[in-house]
Amino acid sequence: MERLYEKIRTEGTVIGTEILKVDNFLNHRLDVEFLDLVGREFHTRFAGEQVDSILTVEVSGIAVAVLAARYFQVPVVYAKKHSSKTLSEETYNAEVFSFTKKTTYQIKVDRKFISPGDRVLILDDFLAKGQAALGLIEICRQAGATVVGAGMVIEKDFQEGGRMLRDQGVRVESLARIRYMDEERIEFMGGGADAL
């Protein structure tokens, strides 16, 4: 994880005290060589678990989910935020409130892509207020699938998402947990100093 901390420190930009811009490697430009290590790290962390599929939500979770999936040798399913001509009518739906946009939107997954009893690992780029992750958990609940855990590249520990998930008994593995940030500094939660 040291390399992730280093990338956040050197390539990230904090706006105010809540927005961390890491578009240089995580969600606009993708540093694929590095994100492959991130994917491998999720595989290491959840190595003891049987995982049947990885579930994420478009857009910015897809790259990490796909690279992790290579190591798990499982498919990825990504929930859709936008309707399309090819999206089935038969979907699991969950409402997600966006604090940044102050609106509620629906995420949808075709029912044929999650089956009762499936062991699903949720992956995403950020865990902040937890709304997207809670939506994905709700979709798994509707499908009768088991959530093995939630792997997050960056958790904003000063927001409530991580606590909400852990309070529900979800195993959350965040590769970098930010305790505090402003335009001058970023403080990470203590934790293993294992190299990513």
Residues in contact with a copy of itself by CB under 8 A are 15, 19, 21, 23, 27-33, 35-36, 58-59, 62-63, 65-67, 69-70, 73-78, 80, 84-88, 100, 109-110, 113
Give the span between the Cα atoms of 157 and 160, in whole angstroms.
7
DSSP bridge pairs for 56: 78
Question: Shortest distance, CB of residue 96 to a copy of itself, whole angstroms?
Answer: 15
- Phi and psi angles of residue 106, each rounded to the nearest 5 degrees, phi first: -105, 140
Identity of the residue, 29 or 179, whose beta carbon is nearer to a copy of itself in the bound complex: 29
In the bound state with a copy of itself, the residue whose beta carbon lies nearer, of 82 and 166, is 82
Of 10 and 73, CB closest to a copy of itself: 73
Contact between residue 111 and residue 91 where contact means Cβ atoms under 8 Å apart: yes
CB of 69 to a copy of itself, least distance (A): 4
Q: Which is nearer to a copy of itself, 112 or 163 (CB)?
A: 112
Least distance in angstroms from the C-beta of 168 to a copy of itself: 26
Q: What is the smallest separation between the CB atom of 193 and a copy of itself, expressed in angstroms?
A: 27
CB of 192 to a copy of itself, least distance (A): 26
> Is 63 exposed, middle or buried (CB count within 10 Å of its CB: 0-12, 13-18, 19+)?
buried
Phi first, then psi, for residue 112 (nearest 5°) are -75, -10
Element (H, E) at 36: helix 32-45
Report the distance separating Cα 195 and Cα 1, nearest Å.
5
- Which is closer to a copy of itself, CB of 68 or CB of 165? 68
The two tokens of residue 152 are: 């997050």
